[in-house]
Amino acid sequence: MSTEQRTFRRSVLDLGDAVLRPWGHALDLPGGTALALVAAAADPVIDRWNPLGTADPAAARAYLDRCDAAWTEGRTGAFAITDAADGTLCGNVALYWRDREDGLAMIGYWLLPTARGRGLAARAATAVARWGVETAAARRLELAHAVGNDGSCRVAERAGFRYEGTLRASFRYPGRDYNDEHLHARLAGDAW
């Protein structure tokens, strides 16, 4: 499979109550995209399990620079989850190549507190996984979450990412000790 085929292309995915839009400087969230990222980074649950590194507007703009570059190179499919009614930010779901040639991709997500509790992360992860398989020939999609992040474990299962095992001391959040992770995955041929 060629790199050309394994390219994530800027897309908009409609979930009904939410719309997934590419992260980047062209994303025009109400109140400002950079400020929305600063607010998201300040949420303690996001900071605990998925620190964003966007504590201030300059860092948020650098984040958007990286998103634009990754989209342009087809390396990452990084989507803002936005509310279909008012366009405000709900969260994030992103798929990126771990091994592009091999079709091995990894997914991650977070939601703002106001968007939690209605199954949105599982629906967004399912939609982006399917998009990755159907438009970029992803072969295997992995999801790793810290042991103890039980909400993310449930989201993984609900999105069809089966538990495959526990990785020991596999990941370190900035400034913290290594922690174990659950590895979940789904294959392109798994039923949706």
Q: Does 15 bind ligand COA (CB under 6 A)?
A: no
Q: Does 182 bind ligand COA (CB under 6 A)?
A: no
Considering only 45, 55, 104, 147, the residue that binds ligand COA (CB under 6 A) is 45
Q: How far is the C-alpha of 116 from the C-alpha of 46, rounded, in Å?
A: 12
Q: Does 97 bind ligand COA (CB under 6 A)?
A: no
CA angle 160, 79, 122 (to 5 degrees): 25
Is the separation of the CB atoms in 34 and 60 below 8 Å?
yes
Minimum CB distance to ligand COA smaller for 117 or for 175? 117
Considering only 7, 10, 11, 49, the residue that binds ligand COA (CB under 6 A) is 49
Q: How far is the C-alpha of 108 from the C-alpha of 130, rounded, in Å?
A: 14
Q: Across the strands, what pairs with 92?
A: 80, 110
Considering only 120, 133, 138, 159, the residue that binds ligand COA (CB under 6 A) is 120
Provide φ and ψ at 124, rounded to 5°.
-70, -40
Q: How far is the C-alpha of 48 from the C-alpha of 191, rounded, in Å?
A: 32
- In the complex, least distance from residue 149 CB atom to ligand COA, rounded to whole angstroms: 5
Considering only 36, 89, 133, 155, the residue that binds ligand COA (CB under 6 A) is 155
Enumerate residues 122-151 that contact ligand COA by CB under 6 A. Answer: 122, 145, 149-151
* Nearest by Cα to 162 from 120, 133, 191: 191
Residues in contact with ligand COA by CB under 6 A are 45-46, 49-50, 108-111, 116-122, 145, 149-152, 154-155, 158
